[in-house]
Structure 1
Amino acid sequence: MSGLSPKCFWVAAVGLGFVTLAGGSPLSQAPEPIRCAPCTPERQLACPAVAPDCEEVLREPGCGCCPACALKKDEPCGVYTARCGSGLRCHPREGDARPLHSLITGRAVCMELSEAALIQAPEATEHKESENGKTKNTAASPDQDSLPYRLGLVTNSKPFDPRSAAEAQESMKAKANVIRKKVADQGPCQTELQRALEKIAKAQQKMGEKFTKFYLPNCDRHGFYNVKQCETSLESQMGKCWCVTPWNGKKIPGSTELPGDAECQHYLSLRGQE
């Protein structure tokens, strides 16, 4: 990937998109979005020269100030690469099992807009059919992605019948109380995310153009931590990554400063064997 100048609006959009609790209620008022540093004459003078045989010159993505040679059809692309040329879009390949990962690591491809639309259409249909199927089969099997299931309060046994004995009803009430308490206490990642956004806004005001790296917690939809966490860089390369325990966000020993495309399942398995 070529050296590109800082970029940040897409980062702010992604970060602020996380500030929603699992129940859909927004947290307190979000801080100001991260602002791009102005394209001063000094920054523009530092821009590398564009190759003379470049067919199309576009400005760098995000907060970049320099001109860059646009990528052609079928060339690899991503968040940290130059833009695709006119009439093209950077999109994961058809059947890509990890589309977001491909975009972040520059393994997507520049394709025509019509081609990207054809790839998106079946994905949307499959997602809708999957959701419909999940709704129909709710009574048969629990939602393994639901918070009660993740907290270990739901099993694969037959659903409880509310018309059963009083003793069973009391047992269900007790379980419901446990769920309420854990739901009230859940969300450590989202709590940290809100604090991080507030700190970022203050840090950028203080540091100005020197503000190029920061950390936004990577939360799952229940407010806990995704196993892989990464530092966000406004420069041309990804920041360092590390692996954490999902429940508390603490780093797993030996997993610090991983390359951006590294996986965390190995470290998580080792942690489970301790």
Structure 2
Amino acid sequence: PPLPLPLLLLLWALPLLARGAQPVLCAPCTPERLALCPPVPPECPEAARLPGCSCCQTCALGPGQPCGVYTARCRLGLRCRAPPGEPRPLSALIQGRGTCRPASEAGGMRTEEPADSIEADDMPLESTEITQDQLLNYQLMFPIGQDKSLPWNSITSYENMKAKRISELKKLKEQGPCQKELYRALFKLVKAQQRSRGEVYKFYLPNCNKNGFYHSKQCETLLDGEPAECWCVYPKNGRRIPGSPEIKGDPECQQYLSSQE
């Protein structure tokens, strides 16, 4: 079966959709973990923590240096911004094609959209900059070393949806229930992370098939390497199949689907 789509973001401060699960923080930086970190070069004007759940420090990036989701953060007073005119700024930042620029530059200011340009869900247009809080959030959602092709495809779909006008956003209502839930979850996930400073390594997003319905096997995503909890749902509505287990591993959902037919 295809890999679960919930490789994405990251990361609620509120109960997650469909599961009600609470986010789990990164493992604490114990003295033992800190002792394994290399020293920060003495010539660094400003130290910054490495991406993701790392406890180690490195040099913060200066003006004009390339930056992105998987790099160190920019120095205080700077923002990591996608290239001017970039049609998919978030994807550019995920791929490290941003530049550290002064936060005061007008190019990084967000533009207010007319009230009739977005749906009632208040989905904002994509910004061409990424804040330090958002940078950490995206690092956690797309861990270093992960195969990024699937997250990039997913986040690109999310970007496209956000950037379209109300006439195109109405197409969302015609999609399958899993795809609708996924888009809502992605939007709320990012919005919640802008308010939350917690570092999360456990979260759930629905695993959808190409038709917008649910794969029978659903799993949480863990970024700490531990086995994830998985369970079985009905493909049409995402509800748990009665009698099916919730286990760390493959619950073999097909047998429970067959027993319901």
Give TM-score scaled by structure 1 length. Answer: 0.42
Between Structure 1 and Structure 2, the one with more helix by share is: 1
Larger RCO (alpha carbons 8 Å, 6+ apart) = 2
Q: Could you say which structure has the larger radius of gyration?
A: 1
